[in-house]
Amino acid sequence: MKILESSNYKIALVGNNLNNASRASGAMIAVHGELEDSKLYDYHDELLLNLSENASLEWRKIIKKIDNNIITAKKTFVYLKNNANNLEKKCFKVISKYGKFLKNVKNSKINTQYLVLNKEFAISSKSLFKKIDAIISKNKNIMFFNDQANINNVYSNKVTLKNSNKIISSNKILIAAGSNSSNIIRKYKMVPVYHGVGTALEIKSEELYNFINKDTVYRTANRGGSFCGVHLVPRDKLGSFYLGAGNYLSNNYNAIGRMATVKYLIDALTKEISNEEIVHKTMMKMVYGNRPISFDNKPVFGTFDKNKKIFVASGFNRVGLTVSPIITEEILKWIGDKHTDSVYDIWKPNREFISFKDKDYAIKMYVDFYLSNLIEHKLVRKKDLKDIKIKLTKDAEEKHKIVQKKYKLKNDFGISPEILSLF
């Protein structure tokens, strides 16, 4: 909010915040709980991890200024069920380097392993944005336009409002529209950003609140591709929780959730965290949000080479809310004409696509991710695994050819397994 304290700035906020992933999130300030198989990591992932670790510390300072009561969980339990798939086991092993194994967990399931991450907490996204909205609404230098934005010419600093047919001229333009960011500036080369359609449940149960450890997030490691596993996050001290989250990629901004996701989340709550009696009495409603996922699954962050007056901040996928304090500081430097950190230049919006290692490895991981998802959702029989693996490999090879031709990529370019599912 530093920039709002100065009367020298006039700000236009354009958009309606529909399907905003952060507003719809469980709001875990998750760092190590998001880690995946270390073999997948590259320099970009290490940078993002470092960014997340630093941002987590900054969140503590921000919360102190806003309201300590927005914290809903003070620690995180990561659990591994007995019959976990191979991908989940690998991810859990990586996370275990940062956590402490627990033996005495309230109402723990038989043969389930538990880690505690004492520094990973959660906040109420509703309370956070309610307070932010209140601060913004009081500022007389801010204008609101509930409209769709479009930038026709990247060399100018003009934004066209679609429905009202107005044009806003500005000294600087920040595009931070989540999964809709690349649609705003279609007529200029920019890394495409897609919609990761997240589906979750808001549930209420006093029985569940009394059944599990208080002030605690219960979650798993990644269980397969874009599906990020299960997490149960307290919303308050009255028995409200966030249960999420399923995820699939789409080109459609208005995409909605799947029944299979709801069934899976309810089954997980029943069999992995609580029991039939508790779930039977639990009240629920649906929650949707679109995570921004770029073509190469790396952040899209920075200015265009040919116009430093336009800044894009998107593509942070599952950790956008977590890293927001650090990326906000970079945006404030840009607004104030100060030097931004050159380490983030590798994520600029008009950069070349970043390969997921090489083609062969990308195909192997696509097959592993897809199989893990099928196994997790009990959609495949053991005796069919070999044949399905062969079919998935062939499908991935064909998809690589199509995408490589479409974007004029090199033959050995590896397409992110998560993104490949779109084609």
pTM: 0.91
Q: CA 23 to CA 19: how far, in whole Å? A: 8
- Burial string for 227-236 (b: 16+ CB within 10 Å, else e) reads bbbbbbbbbe
The DSSP secondary structure of 95-114, one letter per residue, reads HTTTSEEES--TTPPTT-EE
- Of the CA atoms within 13 Å of residue 206, those in its CB half-sphere come to 1
Q: Give the per-residue pLDDT at 276.
A: 96
The DSSP secondary structure of 24-56, one letter per residue, reads HS--EE-SGGG---GGG--HHHHHHHHHHHHHH
CA dihedral 92→98→101→104, nearest 10 degrees, is -110
Q: Give the per-residue pLDDT at 3.
A: 47
Angle ∠(93,96,102) on CA atoms, nearest 5 = 125
Tokens of 409: 């990529």
What is the torsional sign of CA 125, 130, 136, 137?
A: positive
Instruction: Output the CA–CA distances (angstroms, integers) from residue 371 to 139, 178, 209, 337, 396, in the order listed.
Output: 51, 29, 34, 49, 13
Instruction: Output the CA–CA distances (angstroms, integers) from residue 327 to 1, 50, 100, 283, in the order listed.
Output: 13, 12, 30, 37
Q: CA 230 to CA 85: how far, in whole Å? A: 14
Q: CA 250 to CA 180: how far, in whole Å? A: 11
* φ/ψ bin of 19: left (φ > 0), alpha (ψ from -120 to 50), beta (otherwise): left
| Fold of domain 1-354 | FAD/NAD(P)-binding domain (3.50.50)
Q: pLDDT tens digits for 341-352?
A: 999 999 999 999
Of all helices (H) and strands (E), which one includes residue 243? strand 240-250
As a residue count, the chain comes to: 423
The tens place of each residue's pLDDT in the chain, 423 residues long, gives: 444 455 567 899 998 776 677 777 889 999 999 998 877 788 999 999 999 999 999 999 999 988 899 999 999 999 999 888 888 899 999 999 999 999 889 889 988 999 999 999 999 988 898 888 888 888 888 988 988 888 877 777 888 888 888 899 999 999 999 888 988 887 778 999 998 888 899 999 999 999 999 999 999 998 876 556 899 999 988 999 999 877 888 887 776 778 888 999 999 999 999 999 999 999 999 888 888 999 999 999 999 988 899 999 999 988 999 999 999 999 999 999 999 999 999 999 999 999 999 999 999 989 988 888 788 778 888 888 899 999 999 999 999 999 999 999 999 999 998 898 888
Q: pLDDT tens digits for 98-119?
A: 999 998 898 899 889 999 999 9
Q: CA 342 to CA 303: how far, in whole Å? A: 11
The DSSP secondary structure of 59-89, one letter per residue, reads HHHHHHHH-GGGEEESEEEEEE-TT--HHHH
CB-CB contact of 325 with 65 (8 Å): no
The DSSP code for 203 is E
Amino acid at 103: K
Where do the structural domains in the chain lie, given as residue ranges?
A: 1-354, 359-420
CB-CB contact of 355 with 413 (8 Å): yes
Strands of 136-239 (E only): list them: 142-145, 149-150, 158-161, 166-169, 173-175, 193-204, 216-219, 231-234
Non-local CB neighbours of 364 within 8 Å, separated by 6+ positions: none
